[in-house]
Amino acid sequence: MSQRLPEPWGLLIDRSRTIRFTFEGARIDACAGDTVSSALLARGDWLLGRSLKYHRPRGPFTLTGDDANTLIQLGDTHNVPAEQVPAQSGLTVTGQHYSGSLRRDRARLTERFARFLPVGFYYHAFYRPRGIWDYWERFIRRAAGLGRVNTAAGHGYYDKNYAFCDVAVVGGGVAGLAAALAAAEDGADTVVIERESLCGGGLNYHRFDAEGESGAKVRNELMRALEAQPRVRIWTDTTCTGRFGDNLLALIHGDRLTKLRAGRVVIATGAIGQPAVFHGNDLPAIALGSGVQRLMRLYGVRPGQRAVCVTANADGYGVALDLADAGVDVASVVDLRRTPDPDPRVDAVHARGIAVHTGCAIRHATERNQRVAGLRIVDRERIDDAAAPGVDFDCDLVTVDVGATPAVSLIAHAGGDVSYSESNHGLAIRSLPPGMHVAGSVCGPCTLTSAQREGQAAGRAAARAEAAALPDPTLRDGPTNDGWPIFPHSKGKEFVDFDEDLMIKDLVNATKEGFSSIELVKRFSTVGMGPSQGRTAAVNAVRLVADATGEALEGARASTNRPPAFPEKYGHLAGRGFDPVRYTAMQRCHEVADARMMVAGAWLRPAWYGGDRQEAINREVKAVREAVAVIDVSTLGGIEVRGEDAAEFLNRMYTFAYKKQPVNRSRYLLMTDDTGSIVDDGVAARLGEDYYYVTATTGGVENVYRRMLWWNAQWRLDVDIINVTAAYAGINIAGPYSRRALERLDSDIDFSAAAFPYMEVRTGHVAGIPVRAMRVGFVGELGYELHCPASYGEALWEQLMAAGEPDGIRPFGVEAQRVLRLEKGHIIVGQDTDNLTHPTEAAMGWAIARRKPFFVGRPGIEAREQHTLTRQLVGFQLPADTATLPEESHLVVDGEAILGRVTSIAWSQTLGRPIGMAFVSPAQAEAGRHFTIKAQRGNRIEAEVVDTPFYDPDNERQNL
Amino acid sequence: MKLMNCPLNGWRNIGEFVYGGEVRPAPGADADTETWADWVFMVDNQAGVVREWWFHAPTSYWFIAERDTANDTLIRTYPAAEIFTERVEFASGEKSS
């Protein structure tokens, strides 16, 4: 049966457009503008979910999504508050956390065993004997948790937005709108963040007066002024989930996370209505008065046929008036106060002849058909007397207005102090964090006019970057909070925390177990730890814990509030999943040549070219050893060091000696860190007396550059240090025909053996392209490394390919390079070394110049040389017929004792057998000794230590 | 995310910066092993005002920040040259290599 009210009820819905979706398999007809929750309530369905522990029926309580009663499953997405899901055609919605069906949940049987499931049950029951939890865990896991996770779900499209403003106003209710207007009028670039689709907050549905007209009037005035104000951006459907350092706000809008950096923040997040705690207070159709008003005003839904309005202030009388206006039979207003304060709404209720009971307590609510069916009230003085006479009401709706708690999460994130105030009967802000202003009911109960006035003051102060102040309590008034809306029942079921199914006795028992502070009670009982983060539980928990422990209520704190204030998805945090890589200048050439690319540091590099991996590697290795080949080495780091102290600087940064290095020569570089461990290597080309061009590893250059700058910030040597990695493209041309190929190109460099010997450096031109040419033994053959400005990289590559064509030139990739360099016994820093490898372990002692006064790592190296060597890096070979090669990181063992590990291994086409490098014990390090590798599936493979280089041990080929 | 005032670039998100450890001048080249080990491995990790190296990564700039670790506030940032005013020499330079 449709429960729709006629217009003007239903501000947000469009009755002319029907939306169809399914809930629990049933077809639901909704109006455009409905939420899933309002569409179901329009059918009279208040049952939306099942409680965590006892599987009790639950329905909307706050009607804003602030409680966890209405978490639903939307296809693959779980735990979505039904109030926050716009009804859309084609949605498939189900309830969560039941066995069987939502309406007939077999697991509700659990409730009968409630007394066997005391607070801390899991801690007590599964503590001993050891292992008991491991056994029971799978059964408990199956029964626990909310919703179904689709573990096969792909990465959706989420993105991130970065935004800036002078003043951010969180909350678009009356205080927030007034603040934004004042800030913008003062010249501030202002953003309003509103969680809902419509600004106005309570202005849209709350009854501030007997006639119910002032809300809409104020809203229209404010919105008209704001729309004319160009300095205000209003972001609706946007939730602020956290406030981080220096006013960085995290905002969620759909699948987008915006990080908003605000100069000042005005918090106008309002207050959240709180439940009364009585037997059966969690039944569906017991809801906040404000929620019921929203339902009627925004969605045009008649929430029930016969209502009881429980209240402790005049707002509840306003709710009764609204219900009466909507044609709902109001059985009674039940006022917890003995003597209500005067208010026009109270008078109006009396004038309409609605029954009012004052000085009441709630004994219990009754249930029929998984919904509230009645309420029994007793005299408040006699609540402890089980025999006290009561008054029973039949009803299908109970509204609750017994107090509200300020939505202070963001203030707490920023370090503001919030504690219980006995004058307010609720949590109150005691001090504000820097850069944050407040206005409206977040500061405690207030009226429409005081909220508006505070908003204006806060907005203006924020725009002018003035000191923030808390509103003067003597200037405000508002709906009172009841100090103790808690009515224990002999049979329990008075829920304090709906998320976690915690009753009064659970919290009291937690304190009896010795958990005497709210933080400890929280961890033991889980109060406030559910999806609603204590928004409807914290205040009553604070009251109960203070009472049970005998501590003062004044100044008592709720448990710590941490971001996120509202749930975020992992997708929001992960964003689009960018995996940026850098291309070298020759990327197009590699693509044309069918390169298979791999990630190397921040770059993409060709791993091999075309076809089957091993065949391609063998082909490329053969080309280098027997003809000529080129490799793109642009990703190697390049650093220029210039200045009078250039040689002195390199002497301090690297282990070798550079002062007497001749101009136009290059020299090996080995860098160690403060502990004396190897961190990088490369080549220093001396281009002039005061001018070095230094290479570094692809992955290491950023760190090398950073360390260089850090040390020289202290040494103050006269050098300029510049990272030119991306400014230069680099090509290594290697192989016995490399000189012949180069000489086919027009050049002002004499490449002949006599004029350009090994380890020399030349600056000149090749085919008209400016180059730095270094004759190096990169892969152990005659070879030249040509570095040119990156913009020439592609041209130089094409020139070299054309020049080498008569000799069968081909490009080679990183995989072939590794084999070639391994054959020469060259180590790869970071693969053949780890964070603790010092030069002696890697047999690199030759690269240390002992006679210079200092280099970075020297004290570490010298200290470690005093200790016995525990491992040594050696070359090894395996028999040619080894069926399956061990892999890098397989262990070198003696029995079960670990002696070391394989660091590199490859099939050497040149040598016709597998070769590798491994850390072994020093006792095994001599050539000819054998050691054991524990390979796949524990297979033990014998390896033989051999001297390096494996190939061309006398280095004749690179000296050709 | 907090903001930091880079002496070269002004106020930037802290995510652009890299922490570089406490400012403690390195021992002399001839210091003994214990002194060096202490410098390499031991940090003071004080609660209170500390002086630290920070690096603005996009512009590769090292500078010094003073901040209070007890209340997570930034007090002052300035160029390293304010502290490191003199060229550091090691012995009499290179001997014969």
Total CB pairs under 8 A between chain A and B: 89
What is the CA angle B27-B29-B34, rounded to 5? 55
Q: Given an 8 Å threshold on Cβ–Cβ distance, is B40 in contact with A854?
A: no
Q: Is A720 within 8 Å of chain B by CB?
A: no
pLDDT at B95 over 70: no
Mean pLDDT across chain A? 94
Alpha carbons A883 and A387: distance in angstroms, whole number = 88
Residue A629: helix, strand or coil by DSSP? strand
Question: According to the model, what pLDDT value does residue A148 have?
Answer: 80
Q: Which residues of A702-728 are buried (b: 16+ CB within 10 A; e: fewer)?
A: bbbbbbbbbbbbbbebebebebbbbeb
Distance (Å) of CA A119 to CA A495, A501, A530, A837: 13, 10, 15, 54
Question: According to the model, what pLDDT value does residue A579 have?
Answer: 82
Residue A24: helix, strand or coil by DSSP? coil
Q: Given an 8 Å threshold on Cβ–Cβ distance, is A705 in contact with B20?
A: no
Q: Given an 8 Å threshold on Cβ–Cβ distance, is A859 in contact with B33?
A: yes
Distance (Å) of CA A134 to CA A141, A213, A355, A525: 11, 61, 58, 22
Facing residue for A716 by CB, picked from B31, B62, B84 = B84
pLDDT at B96 over 50: no
Q: Is B70 within 8 Å of chain A by CB?
A: no
Chain B residues in contact with A850 by the CB 8 A cut-off are 97
Residue B84: helix, strand or coil by DSSP? coil
The CATH topology of domain B1-23+50-86 is: Folate-binding fold (3.30.2270)
* Distance (Å) from the alpha carbon of A770 to chain B's nearest alpha carbon: 28
Alpha carbons A876 and B66: distance in angstroms, whole number = 52
Q: Given an 8 Å threshold on Cβ–Cβ distance, is B40 in contact with A852?
A: no
Residue A352: helix, strand or coil by DSSP? coil
Alpha helices in A47-192 (DSSP H): 121-125, 132-143, 174-185
Chain B residues in contact with A659 by the CB 8 A cut-off are 94, 97
* Distance (Å) from the alpha carbon of B52 to chain A's nearest alpha carbon: 12
Do the Cβ atoms of A665 and A683 come closer than 8 Å?
no
Q: Given an 8 Å threshold on Cβ–Cβ distance, is B33 in contact with A674?
A: no
How does pLDDT run across A82-115, given as a tens digit for each residue? 999 999 999 999 988 887 788 888 878 777 777 7
Q: Given an 8 Å threshold on Cβ–Cβ distance, is B36 in contact with A860?
A: yes
Q: Taking CA atoms, what residue in B is nearest to A854?
A: B29
Q: Which residues, listed in sequence order, are joined to residue B54 by a DSSP beta bridge?
A: B19, B63
Mutate to test the interface with B, among A656, A674, A707, A850 (most CBs of B within 10 A): A674
How many CB atoms are located within 10 Å of the residue A165 CB?
23
B29 phi and psi, to 5 degrees? -60, -25
Question: According to the model, what pLDDT value does residue B97 have?
Answer: 38
Q: Given an 8 Å threshold on Cβ–Cβ distance, is A713 in contact with B36?
A: no
Q: Taking CA atoms, what residue in B is nearest to A260?
A: B1
Do the Cβ atoms of A614 and A907 come closer than 8 Å?
yes
A168 phi and psi, to 5 degrees? -105, 130
Do the Cβ atoms of A748 and A741 come closer than 8 Å?
no
Residue A202: helix, strand or coil by DSSP? helix
Q: Is A710 within 8 Å of chain B by CB?
A: yes
Q: Given an 8 Å threshold on Cβ–Cβ distance, is A851 in contact with B80?
A: no
Q: Identify the CA nearest to A689 among candidates A653, A656, A715, A664.
A: A664
Q: Identify the CA nearest to A949 among candidates A919, A920, A927.
A: A927
pTM above 0.80, yes or no: yes
Give the total residue count for chain B.
97
The identity of residue A108, as a single letter, is R
Q: Identify the CA nearest to A815 among candidates A776, A788, A779, A787.
A: A779
Backbone φ/ψ region at A337: left (φ over 0), alpha (ψ -120 to 50), beta: beta
The interface predicted TM-score (ipTM) is 0.95
The set of residues, in sequence order, having a beta carbon less than 8 Å from that of A315 and lying 6+ positions away, is A206, A207, A289, A290, A345, A401, A479
Question: According to the model, what pLDDT value does residue A1 have?
Answer: 54
Q: Given an 8 Å threshold on Cβ–Cβ distance, is A853 in contact with B91?
A: yes
Q: Given an 8 Å threshold on Cβ–Cβ distance, is B81 in contact with A674?
A: no
Mutate to test the interface with B, among A258, A724, A854 (most CBs of B within 10 A): A854
Alpha helices in A5-131 (DSSP H): 36-41, 121-125
Do the Cβ atoms of A209 and A449 come closer than 8 Å?
no
Q: Is B60 within 8 Å of chain A by CB?
A: yes
Q: What is the DSSP letter of A869?
A: P
Q: Given an 8 Å threshold on Cβ–Cβ distance, is B92 in contact with A853?
A: yes
Q: Identify the CA nearest to A229 among candidates A275, A188, A289.
A: A188
A211 phi and psi, to 5 degrees? -85, -25
Alpha carbons A168 and A412: distance in angstroms, whole number = 17
Chain B residues in contact with A860 by the CB 8 A cut-off are 36, 40
How does pLDDT run across A606-662, given as a tens digit for each residue? 999 998 999 999 999 999 999 999 999 999 999 999 999 999 999 999 999 999 999
The two structure tokens encoding residue A621: 């290795």
Chain B residues in contact with A261 by the CB 8 A cut-off are 3, 13
Q: Given an 8 Å threshold on Cβ–Cβ distance, is A716 in contact with B2?
A: no
Low-confidence ranges of chain A (pLDDT < 50): none
Chain B residues in contact with A709 by the CB 8 A cut-off are 55, 60-62
* Distance (Å) from the alpha carbon of A240 to chain B's nearest alpha carbon: 15
Question: According to the model, what pLDDT value does residue A144 have?
Answer: 64
Q: Given an 8 Å threshold on Cβ–Cβ distance, is A705 in contact with B37?
A: no
Q: Is A862 within 8 Å of chain B by CB?
A: yes
Domains and CATH numbers, chain A: 1-153 (3.10.20.440), 159-272+406-475 (3.50.50.60), 275-402 (3.50.50.60), 494-562 (1.10.10.1100), 590-634+729-756+765-821 (3.30.1360.120), 637-726 (3.30.70.1400), 858-959 (2.40.30.110)
Do the Cβ atoms of A349 and A383 come closer than 8 Å?
no
Facing residue for B1 by CB, picked from A244, A651, A859 = A244
Alpha carbons A319 and A334: distance in angstroms, whole number = 12
Q: Given an 8 Å threshold on Cβ–Cβ distance, is B60 in contact with A706?
A: yes
